[in-house]
Amino acid sequence: MCLARHRGMGRPIRRHPPGTYHLVTSRCHQARFLFRPDPRINRDVLEWLARAQARWPGILICAVCVMSNHVHLLVRDSGGDLAAWASYFLGNLARAVNRTRERQGHVFARRYSAEPVLDADALLDRLVYVVTNPVQAKLCDRATDWPGVVLWSRSGEAERHLVAPDDAMKSPGAPPAHLLIHPLPHADPHSVAAAIRHAEVSLQAERMTAGIRLVGRRGVLAQRWNDRPRNPKSSVRPLCHAADASLRAAFKEAFGSFVDAFREASSRLREGMLDATFPPWSFPPGRPLVRESAA
Helical (H) or strand (E) element with 150: strand 150-152
* DSSP-derived 3-state class of residue 284: coil
Eight-state DSSP code of residue 283: -
**What is the tally of helices (H) and strands (E) in the chain?**
8, 7
pLDDT at 10: 56
* DSSP-derived 3-state class of residue 63: strand
The CATH T-level fold of domain 9-246 is: Alpha-Beta Plaits (3.30.70)
Q: For residue 184, which amino acid is it?
A: L
Closest among 122, 118, 130, 145 to 199, alpha carbons compared: 130
pTM assigned to the model: 0.91
Strands 113-117 and 20-27: antiparallel
Distance spanning both ends of the chain, measured CA to CA: 30
Cα–Cα dist 50/47, whole Å: 5
Burial of 75 (0-12, 13-18, 19+ CB in 10 A): buried
Q: What is the dihedral of CA 15, 20, 23, 28, to 10 degrees?
A: 50
Cα–Cα dist 39/230, whole Å: 26
- The residue count of the chain comes to 295
User: What count of other Cβ atoms lies within 10 Å of the Cβ of residue 243?
Assistant: 15
DSSP 197-257: HHHHHHHHHHHHHTTPPP-HHHHHHHS-TT---SS----PPPS-B-SSHHHHHHHHHHHHH
Q: Where are the domains of the chain?
A: 9-246
Q: Are 241 and 126 in contact (CB under 8 A)?
A: yes
pLDDT at 167: 57
In order along its 295 residues, the chain shows pLDDT tens digits of: 234 344 444 577 889 999 999 999 999 999 999 999 999 999 999 999 999 999 999 999 999 999 999 999 999 999 999 999 999 999 999 999 999 999 999 999 999 999 999 999 999 999 999 999 999 999 999 999 999 999 999 999 999 988 876 655 555 556 557 899 999 998 999 999 999 999 999 999 999 999 999 999 999 999 999 999 887 777 788 999 999 999 999 999 999 999 999 999 999 999 999 889 999 999 998 888 998 754 4
Cα–Cα dist 114/22, whole Å: 6
Cα–Cα dist 91/80, whole Å: 19
Cα–Cα dist 292/277, whole Å: 11
pLDDT at 8: 43
Closest among 192, 206, 13 to 111, alpha carbons compared: 13
